[in-house]
Structures are given as C-alpha cells and as structure tokens.
C-alpha cells in the first residue's frame, strides 16, 4: 500500500461521514485521487466489467482481484477498500483470500454474506457467515487492513432487516471494524440499523433521486456512519467515451476531442497529462543525470491541469 495513512487514521481525521467513490482500475482511482477524495473503494461489479467484460456474476477470481488490488493500491496515495464478494468460498478460502489481499495492499476488505454469487440476494445462515468473519479476522490480525462486515439482507422484509442488523452486530462484537447493510436506501432504514449495530458504519450507494440526496452526510454522521460509497466513475467514463465517440464517428474527425475538455479545461489529444509523465522522467533523470523529456510520438505532453491534487511520484512506484 503506497498510502502514507491507514484507513483508520483517515476516518479519525475526517471526523464525519464522507463520500467514497467506487473505482475499478488505476485510471479511475487516479481521477478520484485528483479530485481530492481521501479513500477509494474497489467495486467488485465494476472490476468484473472492466477486467472481464461481463457483469458481476462470480466470474472474477482471487488471482484477478489480487492482481487489480496490487496495481491500484501501489500507485495510489489513498487507502483502498476492496470488495472481496463472498471471499471465494468457505472459511479456509476466506482466510487465504484475506491474507493475500491484505498483502497486495488492500486497506480494508468488504466481506458479504451472500450464499451464492449467482444469487447474491440469498444470505448464508448466520453461523456460516460468522465462521467466515472469524477466518478473515484471524488472517488480518497484526495488519492495518480492516474487516468490513456486509449483509445483503432485504431491509424491506422486517424479519430480514432484523436478521441483517443482528448479524452485523455479532460480526462487530467478534472484531469487525466496520459494518455495511448494502441494501438500505433511506434515512429511516439507516436509523433502524444504527439502533442495533454499534461502531463505524458505511452507507452503500447513496442515491439522489429527483435531484435531492436520499440522506445527507450530516444525518449519517449523527447515526455513526463514517463513509458513504457511490458508483459514479464507470458511468462518468462511459458517458464521456460515448459523447466523444458519437461526435467523432458522426464527423469522421477527432476535432471534437481536441476542442472539448469538460473536466480539466485543457483540450489535448490524450489523457497523458493527467498522469504527470514528466515526473517519471524527472525521477529517472535523477538517477542517470540525463535530461530526457516525455513526449508522445514527438509531441510534448501538456502540464498537469491546475486545480487538481498532484501526488509525488515517490508515492506511486
């Protein structure tokens, strides 16, 4: 993990609930970091789409996830939370997965209680999930990697809502540091969860229907929520690629891309300036004593756009 701060330190420093964007690769994580967010969350669903080209249906395996985490975490200055789905099997599989993913650089592991990745709405019996929680906690002992207990219970079913809250409380009592009830969407449901589940909580996928957020960060802070996740990066990336693609295809020209830069305000023919390639060459020149400059097929790359967070190269390699 390149981050100079642990997730625990960031949560304590923030002092209130804050937004955590979901990411799926090094580029999306870089965009989140540039905007100033202090933590990112690797989305299992979006990793599956970006890595495998298919929806989240259990196609991503442990080796895939370990590979992605190692790339993203070691090129980021932020703590990276990782969605590890069901841990890829029973307690022994969870133990092995947790060991490997913490070593790969994850700052926290989100372990869900799904009975089957092909039908993630069905939750495991509580005792089976607690066995997985115990395995993950044992694997993470002595590391800075936290465990997030997550339930996929249905909050619209009173019995499942009660069961989901009670199993999260039990997981927290066992030692999990955070809890997530992934399907709650309203303030009332968050308050019901908070009345039963102690400690730090995460609100998943906050919505803003009709232009108004379903809950505010201040409301969540008062209920003991410390983070609130959101899936905006892949949608934003696809929207941008489709916008440029439609115009470039229609005009059979890249003029649109060369003149439109809605995020940075710096039109260019590639995204390279956002990755500060000059820093890499400056570091190499410090070793060689040379004066190499970064160009793309002879074209000098523009400077990093103003107004965004720049992180020293030493925190990326």
How many of the other CB atoms lie within 10 Å of CB of 160?
17
pLDDT at position 50 is 95
Residue 40 neighbours by CB under 8 Å, 6+ apart = 20, 21, 22, 23, 29, 32, 33, 72, 76, 78, 79, 80, 81
Nearest to 65 by CA among 83, 81, 53: 83
Other CB atoms within 10 Å distance of the CB of residue 271? 11
What is the residue-wise DSSP string for 257-314? HHH--TTTS---SSSGGGG-HHHHHHHHHHHH------EETTEEPPPPPTTS----GG
Q: What is the full per-residue pLDDT of the chain (317 aa) written as tens digits?
A: 556 799 999 999 999 999 999 999 999 999 999 999 999 999 999 999 999 999 888 889 999 999 999 999 999 999 999 999 999 999 999 999 999 999 999 999 999 998 766 555 689 999 999 999 999 999 999 999 999 999 999 999 999 999 999 999 999 999 999 999 999 999 999 999 999 999 999 999 888 888 888 899 999 999 999 999 999 999 999 999 999 999 999 999 999 998 999 998 887 778 888 999 999 999 999 999 999 888 887 788 888 999 999 999 888 87
Q: CA 249 to CA 313: how far, in whole Å?
A: 37
CA-to-CA distance for 189 and 184, rounded, in angstroms?
6
Which tokens go with 146?
A: 């936290």
- Contact of 187 with 214, CB cutoff 8 Å: yes
In the chain, ranges of CATH 3.20.20.60 domains? 7-235
Q: Round to whole Å and give the CA distance between 180 and 161.
A: 13
In this predicted structure, what is the pLDDT of residue 294? 86
User: What per-residue confidence (pLDDT) applies to 199?
Assistant: 97
Taking phi over 0 as left and psi of -120 to 50 as alpha, with beta for the rest, 43 belongs to: beta
| pTM of the predicted model as reported, rounded to 2 decimal places | 0.94
| CATH number for the domain formed by residue range(s) 7-235 | 3.20.20.60
* pLDDT of the residue at 120: 57
Q: How many CB atoms lie within 10 A of CB 195?
A: 9
Q: From CA 97, how far away is CA 30, in angstroms rounded?
A: 25
């Amino acid at each position: 993990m390149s981050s100079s701060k642990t997730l625990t330190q960031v949560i304590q420093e923030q002092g209130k609930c804050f937004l955590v964007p979901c990411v799926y690769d090094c580029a999306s994580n870089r965009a989140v970091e540039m905007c100033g967010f202090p933590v990112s969350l690797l989305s299992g669903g979006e990793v599956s789409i970006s890595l495998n080209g298919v929806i989240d249906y259990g196609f991503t395996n442990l080796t895939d996830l370990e590979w992605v985490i190692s790339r993203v975490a070691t090129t980021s200055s932020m703590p990276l939370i990782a969605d590890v789905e069901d841990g890829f099997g029973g307690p022994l599989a969870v133990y092995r997965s947790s060991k490997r993913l913490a070593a790969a650089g994850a700052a926290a592991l989100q372990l869900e209680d799904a009975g089957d990745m092909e039908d993630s709405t069905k939750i495991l019996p509580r005792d089976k999930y607690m066995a997985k929680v115990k395995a993950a906690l044992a694997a993470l002992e002595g590391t800075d990697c936290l465990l997030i207990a997550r339930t996929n219970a249905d909050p619209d079913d009173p019995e499942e809502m009660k069961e989901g809250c009670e199993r999260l409380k039990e997981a927290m009592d066992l030692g999990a540091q955070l809890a997530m009830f992934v399907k709650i969407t309203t303030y009332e449901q968050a308050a019901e969860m908070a009345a039963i589940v102690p400690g730090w909580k995460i609100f998943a996928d906050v919505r803003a229907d009709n232009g108004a957020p379903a809950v505010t960060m201040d409301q969540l802070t008062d209920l003991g929520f410390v983070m609130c996740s959101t899936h905006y990066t892949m949608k934003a990336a696809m929207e941008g690629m489709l916008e440029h693609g439609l115009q470039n295809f229609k005009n059979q020209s890249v003029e649109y891309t060369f003149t439109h830069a809605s995020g940075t305000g710096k039109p260019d023919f590639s995204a390279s300036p956002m990755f500060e390639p000059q820093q890499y060459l400056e570091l190499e020149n410090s070793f060689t004593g040379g004066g190499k400059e970064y160009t793309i097929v002879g074209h000098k790359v523009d400077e990093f756009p103003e107004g965004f967070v720049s992180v020293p190269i030493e925190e990326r390699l």
